[in-house]
Structure 1
Amino acid sequence: MAEGLSRRGHDVHVVTYHLGEDPPDATFEIHRIARIPTYSKTSAGPSYQKLAVLDPLLAFELRRLLRVHRFDVIHAHHFEGLLVADLARSKRAPPIVFDAHTLLESELPYYGLGLPRGVKRALGRRLDRWFPGRAEHVIAVTDDIRSRLIESGAAAAESVSVIPNGVESDVFAAPRPPRLRNGQPRRLIFTGNLAPYQGIDFMLDAFRVLRQQRDDVRLTIATEDSFTPYEQTAIDMGIRSFIDVHEVDFSRVPELLGEAEIALNPRVDCDGLPQKLLNYMAAGRPVVSFAGSAKHLTDGRHGTVVEDRDVEGFARAIDDLLSDSAWAHGLGTAGRTMVRNELSWEATAARVEALYHRVV
């Protein structure tokens, strides 16, 4: 998003945490908070230290920049971005555009925080209703999010626009039909974090079922997270020796996707748009996905959509694609064409730019 907007001639500043490295060819300015030695968590989700220490530091840094620069808009990414923007701005600060990628009612229960699941869901529901009103306008990445925000009274219909995420299509090589060799395993892939909401348990169970039907498949998991929480489950299922876990950052994901035949999206509860799904499609990989997170994925056109939590159906869909490589390749090619034509970051940046002109 930042690159897309800067390429359109805008002066973009990104205020973020101390973690990570600045891209060497960035076309926008990056401002990081001071390094916090006691915080190195890069996995998804909130923590008490993040809320009590890191987010206030972000707010201080944003407030400093607001005194130095004359910004036209604050683009707040996700709920923590909105919290930071709201804490930092003064009465004369520019309008806030809140970029809502999910709803807390559905996501917050999956994180620890030492609270019962029901309490976290109720807290998330309350925050979903109160928080968006702190912004002048809301970008919802899906129609589902927009509808729920309007129905709950969190935002007026005219204050919520749907603009989906984009994808960096150019980093993914054009797909080629798989060359199958005797003795070579058929490779499946999952990429992304291993947070509980991702449905990793469902995926492992489906892989177990698939291994009972055919012994030529392996599963690649490309993630920055540790697989430790799932090690014993995979061992108990008898599938651990057929899983290759690569703890890598995004730079290795295109290569690993290029080595796989089918990409897996086992998440069942998702109001937003899983970025991995767009990456899969940009890489030209046919996707097997549960229905709850199959945004922009048309069953039988870009992949296969399976009823939520139907592990047997998930395994069967993978087997069907492996059994017809030409069909699978056609689905992947169609998905790649769709995201390149409709969901590039350039197209997303143009839509966001038009929204800014309406808000400012």
Structure 2
Amino acid sequence: MVLTRDINSKQTSVVKHQIKSFRPNQNPNENDANGLNILFLAPHPFYQDRGTPIDDCLFLRVLSEKNYKVDVIAFPEGRDIELDNVTIHRTLKVPFVEGVRPGFSWKKLVYDILMVFKVMQMVSTRKYDLIQAVEESVFIALLMKVMLGIPYVYDMDSSIAQQMVEQMPWLKPLAGVFNWFEKIAVQNAKSVLPVCHAIADDIADYKPENITILPDISLLEDSTDEVNEDIRKDLGIQNQVLMYVGNLEGYQGIDLLLESFALTLKSTDQVDLVIIGGDEAGIEKYQAKSAQLGIQHKVHFLGQRPAQHLSAYLSQADILVSPRTKGINTPMKVYSYLDSGKAVLATDLLTHTQVLTPEISKLAQPVPEDFSQAMIELINNPSLCSQLGNAGQEMIQEKHSYSAFSKTVNGLYRWLQCEIFPTQIQAGLE
């Protein structure tokens, strides 16, 4: 059976095939954290204020607090972070190969290949007990397991196979091949950490040894309101503010957002749209689309802002939107949106409905007419916005805090410690 842990559940549910009986919420030895040397593979620019790097930083923070010794290998871009017992190493920087964006790209492939060589260099000079592999770096970890017997944890923020086909539909005939590779990576992992239930359900048939569901959390706990940027004053906005925060990649549904907003403005002009995030190319693309729709005077692109200031920006919105149209993993922004106490509008798709319900958010079909109608309903109903905002905030603070996240990670790693060093743990119990 597959042992599955949910960060929001106090119980462990059994799904499919037999594994060892130790469960992540057991605590054989409070001092066992010092025994693991971990190689953490982060196949992206790190650190940057965007989804997966933020996830990685949270995970590393937990490991640091428990005194694990962690070497991180990341791409050359990004800024260093300072955490006790965590050392960041980077792949070789290739001239003119920069600006690596989320999703598959030739630039990402270049650095993935360079990461293989960096990993081989590291494992040849240091002893690691465990590899934590994020996204596609799991295949490097699989190689290390085959060559050197090092076990690995698969940090699965999304399905690589599904993501490849969604991003490049012409690869659909190869979907079976991608799924096979993903299956092998899952089956050989010591544990798989899907970010949501939908991914956990998708991989259950692969019969992994252990599944620990580790959803994202709100980032507002460590955020600050001390920001000298008054959006309404600076932009001359006297209306309600509809706000989106995040990157501007295609799967985020920014086209849907702008088309829906254009329809909304035909019914009311008492609202402005503020978009925070995105790189220069993405901003230029959607500024052009806004102009094409004739709404450029009501759409404001602020560019990127530090994640630690997120609370200050969300507090200036009336309605927060997540128009994502692709994928099944829940957007990280949703947790902070809810924690802000503001009304949340999102597409009625699995990517959202694993967390969002009609009791804590406004859900609408991912078509401009329906999404626009939902916007109008919230704009015209402040009491509904307040009701949804309060309910969402209460849910997040109860179930998606850093302490809950930390508890689950620590439980998982205590279990891993028992699996990797059973004799040592047994001695500690005697």
- For normalisation by structure 2, the TM-score amounts to 0.72
Aligned match of 1:348: 405
- Pairwise CA RMSD: 2.8
Closer, same or farther in 2 for the Cα pair 1:254/1:276, shift >3 Å?
Answer: same
Q: CA deviation at 1:73?
A: 2.0
Given that 2:337 and 2:344 are in contact with CA atoms closer than 8 Å, whether structure 1 keeps it comes out as yes
Aligned match of 1:315: 372
Q: CA deviation at 1:14?
A: 2.1
Aligned match of 2:170: 116
Structure 1, unpaired ranges of 5+: 175-179
Aligned match of 2:66: 8
Q: CA deviation at 1:284?
A: 2.5
Query: Letter of the aligned partner of 2:211 in structure 1?
Result: V
Query: Letter of the aligned partner of 1:142 in structure 2?
Result: C
User: Matched residue of 1:139: which SS?
Assistant: strand
> What are the superposed Cα offsets for residues 338-358 of structure 1, whole Å, 9 maximum, x if unpaired?
223322233223212322333
Closer, same or farther in 2 for the Cα pair 1:133/1:166, shift >3 Å?
Answer: same
Given that 2:62 and 2:409 are in contact with CA atoms closer than 8 Å, whether structure 1 keeps it comes out as no
Aligned match of 1:177: none
> What are the superposed Cα offsets for residues 309-337 of structure 1, whole Å, 9 maximum, x if unpaired?
23222222222222232331332233233
Aligned match of 1:164: 215
Query: Letter of the aligned partner of 1:81 in structure 2?
Result: S
Given that 2:224 and 2:310 are in contact with CA atoms closer than 8 Å, whether structure 1 keeps it comes out as no
Structure 1 vs Structure 2: percent identity of aligned residues?
A: 22
Structure 1 CA distance for aligned equivalents of residues 162 and 403 of structure 2: 30
338, 348, 364: which one aligns with 1:291: 348
Given that 2:154 and 2:189 are in contact with CA atoms closer than 8 Å, whether structure 1 keeps it comes out as yes
Given that 1:107 and 1:197 are in contact with CA atoms closer than 8 Å, whether structure 2 keeps it comes out as no
Aligned match of 1:302: 360
* Residue range with higher mean Cα deviation, 279-288 or 26-35: 26-35
Given that 1:60 and 1:88 are in contact with CA atoms closer than 8 Å, whether structure 2 keeps it comes out as no
Q: CA deviation at 1:126?
A: 4.3
User: Which aligned pairs between 1:180-191 and structure 2 lie closer than 5 A?
Assistant: 184-191=238-245
Closer, same or farther in 2 for the Cα pair 1:213/1:271, shift >3 Å?
Answer: same
User: Matched residue of 1:213: which SS?
Assistant: coil
> What are the superposed Cα offsets for residues 270-301 of structure 1, whole Å, 9 maximum, x if unpaired?
22121111221232322111122214543333
Aligned match of 1:104: 160
Structure 2 CA distance for aligned equivalents of residues 148 and 284 of structure 1: 32
Q: CA deviation at 1:33?
A: 1.9
Aligned match of 2:193: 139
Aligned match of 1:230: 286
Given that 1:63 and 1:89 are in contact with CA atoms closer than 8 Å, whether structure 2 keeps it comes out as no
Structure 1 CA distance for aligned equivalents of residues 79 and 106 of structure 2: 24
204, 207, 215: which one aligns with 2:269: 215
Query: Letter of the aligned partner of 1:86 in structure 2?
Result: L
Closer, same or farther in 2 for the Cα pair 1:126/1:17, shift >3 Å?
Answer: same
Q: CA deviation at 1:186?
A: 0.9
Aligned match of 2:81: 23
- Which structure has the bigger radius of gyration? 2
- For normalisation by structure 1, the TM-score amounts to 0.85
Query: Letter of the aligned partner of 2:300 in structure 1?
Result: D
User: Matched residue of 2:265: which SS?
Assistant: helix
Aligned match of 2:428: none
Aligned match of 1:82: 138
Structure 1 CA distance for aligned equivalents of residues 399 and 123 of structure 2: 34
Query: Letter of the aligned partner of 1:300 in structure 2?
Result: P
Given that 2:320 and 2:345 are in contact with CA atoms closer than 8 Å, whether structure 1 keeps it comes out as yes
Structure 1 CA distance for aligned equivalents of residues 413 and 312 of structure 2: 36
Aligned match of 1:259: 316
User: Matched residue of 2:68: which SS?
Assistant: coil
Structure 2 CA distance for aligned equivalents of residues 283 and 188 of structure 1: 14
Aligned match of 1:203: 257
Q: CA deviation at 1:145?
A: 0.9
User: Matched residue of 2:363: which SS?
Assistant: strand
Q: CA deviation at 1:264?
A: 0.8
Closer, same or farther in 2 for the Cα pair 1:265/1:72, shift >3 Å?
Answer: same
Structure 2 CA distance for aligned equivalents of residues 263 and 121 of structure 1: 35
Structure 1 CA distance for aligned equivalents of residues 338 and 263 of structure 2: 25
Aligned match of 2:112: 55
Query: Letter of the aligned partner of 1:258 in structure 2?
Result: S
- 1:336 equivalent to 2:363? Answer no
Given that 1:4 and 1:346 are in contact with CA atoms closer than 8 Å, whether structure 2 keeps it comes out as no
User: Which aligned pairs between 1:24-39 and structure 2 lie closer than 5 A?
Assistant: 24=82, 28-39=86-97
Query: Letter of the aligned partner of 1:298 in structure 2?
Result: L
Runs of 4+ aligned residues of structure 1 deviating over 6 Å after TM superposition are 180-183
User: Matched residue of 2:301: which SS?
Assistant: strand
Structure 1 CA distance for aligned equivalents of residues 310 and 220 of structure 2: 13
> What are the superposed Cα offsets for residues 117-151 of structure 1, whole Å, 9 maximum, x if unpaired?
53475554444334323423211121211111123
- 1:44 equivalent to 2:102? Answer yes
> What are the superposed Cα offsets for residues 154-184 of structure 1, whole Å, 9 maximum, x if unpaired?
x20543332212332313468xxxxx99971
Aligned match of 2:304: 248
